[in-house]
Amino acid sequence: MRAPRRIVIAGGGTAGWMAAAALARTLGRAVSVTLVESDAIGTIGVGESTIPPIITFNRLLGINEAEFMAATQATFKLGIQFDGWKGPQDSYFHSFGLTGKDHWAAGFQHFWLDGRTRGNDAPYDDYCLELVAAREGRFAHLPDDRMNYAYQLDSTLYGRFLRRMAEGDGAVRIEGRIERVELDGKSGDIAALVLDDGQRIEGDLFIDCTGFRALLIERALHVGFDDWSHYLPCDAAVAVQTESVRPPVPFTRAIAHESGWQWRIPLQHRAGNGIVYCSRYLDHDVARERLLANVEGTVLTEPNMLRFTTGARRKQWHRNCIAIGLSGGFLEPLESTSIHLIQRAILRLIRLLPGDPVSPHDIAEFNDQQMTDMLQIRDFLILHYKVTERRDTPFWRQCADMEIPESLAHKIALFRETARVFRRNDELFAENSWVQVMLGQGIVPESYHPITARLSDGELAQLLSSVRQNVATTVRGLPPHADYVARFCGAVA
Ligand SMILES: Cc1cc2nc3c(=O)[nH]c(=O)nc-3n(C[C@H](O)[C@H](O)[C@H](O)COP(=O)(O)OP(=O)(O)OC[C@H]3O[C@@H](n4cnc5c(N)ncnc54)[C@H](O)[C@@H]3O)c2cc1C
């Protein structure tokens, strides 16, 4: 089977350069990688909070972690603190890692729930290493990858880092505006990109990384878009960068407001901030003013106003074109999943690298896997809006009253009645994530697995306290996050 010889990537945002770096490094001389981007158009300029699988991506590409973090002014991330989601004054944490110790038949939450009825009232949070470390602002790498983490990074610097890497591995960058996508008259495949200076860039396989514009997959190939804004009604954002006012904490904050939420992402050299909202209930100028009134530290950039529709292209791969990044669809940034979806698509494409001719089964497999990922993440995001005690504004009332997908309704009902959660089909968010968010949003399970009754009061108390103490002792031994970052990967300003 012959690999497509010429891979052309349209767009040089995070998606474009991640794809270029991964393809050039993994496939080497088997293919040529050409990336076209327009400095005049620029990138979206947000996308700074990540989740743990990025570590696998970096390892696969042989990226040195300390160099990568220094080059992108990155900090470590142990999870997200959700403020005001259950009720305006409530706060909870969705952390990476595991909570407590599971039994094969029943997750740790069952033992914790039983423990509460028997007088052990320590919060669920206290049994999770990453969560307690985040709350205490501590971090270190631990043996056997015991600490699960991701990064908070500067998206522009990340793009530059990937570009250096990709070009070092032979990818070629062409500066210019794509004016036209030329289709092959016979096959309907993409034949070439035509730039504003008349250059014609031919390829065998085209990757659409043109962001929300979706120049290839939608404007040229018209695959169609599934609109999910009924479930996730936020459709606008404003982002600004600010000076840091305190040492960076190892977590992102998602602070709910009356018609959406606000993020704070601490980096080494500054903080990233943004407000995400539903334009039906909040005017753009008011959103902008609200953000500026709620950031800490001097504002460093002009507010970046963004509009989006939550949803997905009906096909992520069509003919000889694959959409990766925002061109393929968008799920709002509440759980920092977009860069992850880019990574999944790239690795999936490498695994399913088509021969000549392209097998329609490869395309079908790719589309099915990619859509499954997006639907699973979509359900997890909807959970945060649907399960809330907030009824204080029309936005929150709409969220609480909305119909939700059957798959999510089942998951919520199962947990509410039995405290059970099952991970299906290699789903991104594992049991711990679902349990933390469901408890955090206010679901109190009505029962738990009877197996916990096997333990006497003393045995259960001993189990719970040993896990808690283990976590507390480990966290006490960790250095402050900011000190560790400075030592491990301090960036040169
Ligand atoms: C408000 C908000 C917050 C977000 N926060 C996060 C987060 O915390 N974590 C996360 O994982 N993700 C986040 N994301 C998503 C993340 O920003 C994107 O997934 C990521 O930046 C990838 O974008 P992209 O490369 O697909 O598109 P873009 O960055 O828009 O890049 C598009 C590229 O295409 C080029 N281009 C477009 N048209 C043409 C043309 N005609 N000719 C030549 N070039 C062209 C542009 O110049 C650019 O290089 C967020 C998104 C939004 C909207």
Q: What confidence score (pLDDT) does residue 426 get?
A: 85
Is the pLDDT at 24 greater than 70? The verdict is yes
Name residues whose C-beta falls within 8 Å of residue 260's C-beta, 6 or more positions apart in sequence.
234, 275, 276, 277, 278, 282, 395
Distance 19 CA to ligand 1 centre (A): 13
pLDDT-based confidence at residue 314 (cuts at 50, 70, 90):
very high
Per-residue pLDDT of 372-416, as tens digits, reads 999 999 999 999 999 999 999 999 999 999 999 999 999 999 999
Q: In sequence order, what E strands does 117-270 have?
A: 150-152, 172-175, 178-183, 190-195, 200-202, 205-208, 225-227, 236-242, 252-257, 260-266
The residue count for the chain: 493
Residue 9 clears pLDDT 80, i.e. is over it: yes
Query: What token pair was written down for 95?
Result: 């952390």
pLDDT of residue 422: 94
**Dist. CA 438–CA 416, nearest whole Å:** 9
Report the separation in Å between the CA atom of 325 and the middle of ligand 1, taken as the mean of its atom positions: 7
Which atom of ligand 1 is least distant from the CA of 51? 11
What 8-state DSSP symbol labels residue 441?
T
Give the pLDDT mean for 449-470: 97
Distance CA 346, CA 20 (A): 9
Angle CA(451)–CA(453)–CA(459) in degrees, nearest 5? 110
Per-residue pLDDT band at 492 (split at 50, 70, 90): low
Give the tokens for residue 209: 């990384």
Q: What would the pLDDT profile of 328-366 be if each residue is shown by its tens digit?
A: 999 999 999 999 999 999 999 999 998 878 889 999 999
List CB contacts of 78: < 8 A, sequence separation 6 or more: 95, 96, 97, 130, 131, 133, 134, 139, 147, 148, 149, 250, 251
DSSP structural state of residue 387? S
CB atoms within 10 A of CB 227: 11
First to last CA, the chain: 48
For Cα atoms 338, 108, 78, give the angle at the middle one, nearest 5 degrees.
35
What number is the average pLDDT over the span 194-211?
Answer: 97
Q: Give 157 Cα–ligand 1 centroid separation in angstroms.
A: 14
- Residues 123-140, mean pLDDT to the nearest whole number: 98
Q: What pLDDT is attached to residue 491? A: 80
CA nearest ligand 1 atom 41, residue: 178
> pLDDT of 68-87, one tens digit each?
999 999 999 999 999 999 99
- CB count, 10 Å around CB of 445? 18
Give the integer Cα–Cα distance in Å for 289 and 303.
10
Q: Could you tell me if 85 and 92 are in contact, meaning their C-beta atoms sit under 8 angstroms apart?
A: yes
What integer pLDDT is reported at residue 208 of this predicted model? 98
Q: Which three-class secondary structure state does DSSP give residue 67?
A: helix
The DSSP letter of residue 472 is: H
Helix 360-386 × helix 338-351 angle, to 10°: 160
Evaluate if residue 279 carries a pLDDT over 80. Answer: yes
Share of the chain above pLDDT 90, in %: 96
Determine the residue type at 415. F
pLDDT of 127 reads 98
State in Å: Cα 46 to ligand 1 middle: 7
- Paired tokens of 210: 């043109």
Measured from CB, residues less than 6 Å from any atom of ligand 1 are 11-16, 36-38, 41-44, 46-50, 155, 177-178, 209-211, 213, 215, 237, 239, 274, 306, 308, 325-327, 333, 336, 338-339, 342
CB contact set of 471 (below 8 Å; sequence gap of 6+):
126, 127, 128, 129, 132
DSSP string, 208-248: E--GGG-IIIIIIT---EEE-TTTS---EEEEEEE---SPP
- State yes or no: pLDDT of 493 exceeds 60: no
Measured by CA distance, the residue closest to atom 27 of ligand 1 is 211
pLDDT tier for residue 103 given thresholds of 50, 70 and 90: very high
User: Which strands form 311-313's sheet, in the order they lie side by side?
Assistant: 225-227, 311-313, 329-330
Residue 302: CA count within 13 A, CB half-sphere: 3
Q: How far apart are CA 181 and CA 36, in angstroms?
A: 13
pLDDT tier, 1 (very low <50, low <70, confident <90, very high otherwise): low
Average pLDDT, the chain: 96
